[in-house]
Structures are given as C-alpha cells and as structure tokens.
Amino acid sequence: MTFTSLGFLLFFPAVCLLYYLLPAPARPAWLLAASYWFYACADWRGPLLLLAATAVSYGCGRALGALASPRARRAVLVAAAVGFVGVLALFKYAGFALESLAALLHLAGIGWQPPAFSLLLPLGISFTTFQILGYLTDVYRGALAPERSFVRYALFLSFFPQIVSGPIARGGALLPQLARPVVFLPDRVRDGLVRMLWGYFEKLVVADQAALVVNTVFADYAAHGGVERLLAAVLYSVQIYTDFAGYSHIALGAAQVLGFTLGENFRQPYLAQSVREFWGRWHISLSGWLRDYLYIPLGGSRAGTLRRYANLLVTFLVSGLWHGAAWHYVVWGGLHAAYQIASLLTAPLRRRCNLGRGVLARWARRGVTFGLVTAAWVFFRADSAGQALSYLGGIAGWFDPWVLTDGTLLTLGLDGWGWFVLFCAVGLVLAVDCLRERGVRLRAVLARQPLAYRWLCYYALLAAVLVFGIWGPGYSAAAFVYFQF
C-alpha cells in the first residue's frame, strides 16, 4: 500500500474516523494495529522483523535507563549499534560487498564468482535503523528518558505516515506527543488535508510527469544529444525533489490530521546559495541525524582543518551508502563532500571577490549551487558511476539547441500539452517555494480568505491532481523514489 494507491485512500479515512471515535487510552493501540497493517501490505514478513527490532531496542533502552555503571551502559549501546547496523548490512549490503570483493579479486587476476545472495529488503529499514540508533543514543546521553510503554515505543517506530520513507523521528519530539491525548480540532484537520493535497500535486502532477522524460532519456542516453541530456538531468532534480517533498507533505499532513507534528524535511532546497546551505534544507531529518550522531561525535569542525575535511568525507560517504548498495551512490556522497571541502578551501578567495548580496548575486549563487547539485544527481540516477560520467560527457560533446524546436522534445515521453502542464506545474512549485522563502505560509493565507474563495482554490488543486496527475501518454503510477532506501 502506498500513499497514491486506492487502498490508502480507503485506509486513511477509516483509521482517522475510528481513531477519533475511540476513547483516548485505546487510541495508541489502534494506531499501532493500523500501522502494522499498513506495513504488512507490502510484505507480511516485514512486521515480524519490525516487531523483533522493536522488542530488542525497547529492552536496550530500558537497560540503558536502569544501569548505573558507565562501562555497562556503553557496552549496551555498542552492542545494540553493532547489532542493528549488522542486520542492516546483512539485508542491504551483503550482496554488494560480495560483488565488490569479486571485482577486486578480478583486478588481482583471481577469478571468483560470488554466491547468489538475496534477502527480503524490508521497506524503510534504513530509516528505522537510524531512528532506533538515534533513540538509544539519546537515552545513553541522558537527553531522553527510556520509554516505559511498549505500545507507545512500538508506535514510535511503526507510525504509518513515516515508517517507509521518514522523516526520521527523534524520540524527544514524537514520544511525548504519543503520550498526550489528542483533541479533534477542525482547523488542524483541514490544514493537514490541504497539505496532503499539495503533496499529491507535487508527486502526481510534477514528479511523475517529469519521470516520463527522465526515464526515456536515461534508458537510452547514447541516442540523445546534449540538450536532451541536460534537460533530463534538470528534470531529474525536479523529479526527486517533488517526489520526496511530495511524500513528506503527505506524511506530515496525515500525521497532522491525527494530531501529531512530525519534523519538517524540506525547506526550499533549490533556493540554497551554497551546497552547505543546501544540506541544511534537503532531507533535514537525515542531514540532522548525520550531523548529531556521526559528524559531531567524530569531532566535527573542532579537531583541526584536516580532521574536519576527513569528518566531512566520512559523513557524506556514509550518506551515499545509506541511500543504496552501489558505488554510484558512494560517488554521489563523495561529490557532495568534495563540494563542501572545496568551498572551505576557496572561502578566503570568495570573500575577497565579494559579489555582494544583491538580487543578481543571490540568484547567481543559487544557479551555481543548483548546477553542482544537478551534476551530482546524475550519479544518483545512473546505473553506475561510469554511465554517469559518460552521460555528463555527452552534454558538452553533442549540444544542438535546435532540438528545442524541431519536435525532438515530443519524442521524450510527453506530447505538447504534457510539456505545457509540466512547465506550468514546475512554475507553480517554484513560485510557492519563493513565497515560503519570504515567510508567506500559503495554507494560513488561504485559511483567512472567504469561504467560497477558499474552497474554490481547494477544488482547483484537487481537480489538477485528478485530471493531470493521471493523464499523459505512457503514464503509469510510479512508486516514490525514496521507497527503495
């Protein structure tokens, strides 16, 4: 079951209705049962692994709270971290490690065929693992008391709006909310539903339409020139943003309807004026997790210049590997580390060549940042690092701008109307992001408008999702990109 499936559109209202009808003490158990059902719809074996991870991490948390000896508490934390990372490695990285070893031996002249190795990869295992490790670390540090209620802790890990693709919840933010009774507030429910609707617009109208062009070009990039490759790379930047941000809007909106507040995951990332700023706006729950539980414990920027560079490299390589068991993900993470290290090295020169803070200077920095991020996204989207290099090399080598007018664009998965709809939809997303950057919260603005005007806007957005989100040559509903991680 995905957020864009008919099953979810039946499941979610039923869960909400019964949730608000039940007495407050019964609600956590109901949400827990609903969350496990949601997770089981992907594969019935997934909840078994999730329940085992919940029981073990719950016990570790209680032990960390009960033990007085620092050595014993450290041993529990280390054992738990090794165990959960080991399980993640077994399910997600064992095959990758064997294939990499075989390739290394081949370079040394040793022929070895790795055994076939395939395990069920539970949905959201990377997100759940980081959520568990963050919780246990907070308990170990004394920043969070261990949760006493097993039901609430199990719901913390399995809450259906965020179990598959985040945001990665912090125990200190979500667990207290699960312990408080929720009162039905019509304005909050309406605001959550509108946020979900915007998420569906970003996913179905923008991301899935852009994916048609992206998939067409990347599937046979050698047959396409530089303009088509550049356009597909830019549209992939649009696709992955609106796909994942759309998912996050639906997840946060669904949680809001139920009375809970999850952490924001995006803050206009493509309006960032540096790669460092980009990572303060993109996948905020992951970048914050890596900062607090990896980069800073490694020493952060406090241990000298070379150590700071090494810490950045390790952090971003882990980020790349977290996203997928393939070298092109590692290269993607390494590129972002290189961007940040290069930025630190060139900071004195850039300060001397100060471009100012005017509008043109700000947009110039945004353009450079977007270009760097888009180049890195090619490695993320490609099937291998070699393919990504070949793809990027062909952009400059075969650049014919006349394809913009000779009908070539109509062979990339969208007809003329499809391109028009995509262009308008991307423009709307950009306009909304620019308004948010200026502090304008559109849902709050709409809520203050007259009833007729407000509902006209809601129905217009709903109509756009229903008409354009399921329309276009070659259209097929696509899974959210981050489901694979």
Query: Cα dist. 175→172, 251, 473 in Å?
Result: 6, 17, 45
- CA–CA separation, 425 vs 335, rounded Å? 30
Q: Is 181 helix (H, G, I), strand (E, B) or coil?
A: coil
- CA–CA separation, 387 vs 392, rounded Å? 9
Amino acid 479: pLDDT: 59
Nearby residues of 336 by Cβ (< 8 Å), 6 or more positions away: 275, 279, 316, 319, 320, 376
CB 127 within 8 A of CB 168: yes
Identify the CA nearest to 421 among candidates 474, 471, 458: 471
Amino acid 481: pLDDT: 61
Amino acid 28: pLDDT: 95
Q: Which residue has the tokens 């977290």?
A: 322
Amino acid 158: pLDDT: 95
Question: Which residue of the set 224, 249, 283, 323 is catalytic?
Answer: 323
Mean pLDDT in consecutive groups of 10 residues from the start of the chain, 485 residues = 88 96 94 95 88 96 93 95 93 83 81 74 88 96 94 96 89 94 92 95 94 93 90 96 95 96 94 94 95 92 88 95 91 96 86 76 92 96 93 81 82 89 95 93 87 90 85 50 55
Residue 249 annotated among the catalytic residues of the structure: no
Amino acid 477: pLDDT: 52
CB 421 within 8 A of CB 209: yes
Max CA pair span of the chain: 75
Amino acid 467: pLDDT: 86
What is the DSSP secondary structure assignment for residue 146, as one 8-state letter?
P
Nearby residues of 226 by Cβ (< 8 Å), 6 or more positions away: 394, 395, 396, 397, 398, 399, 400
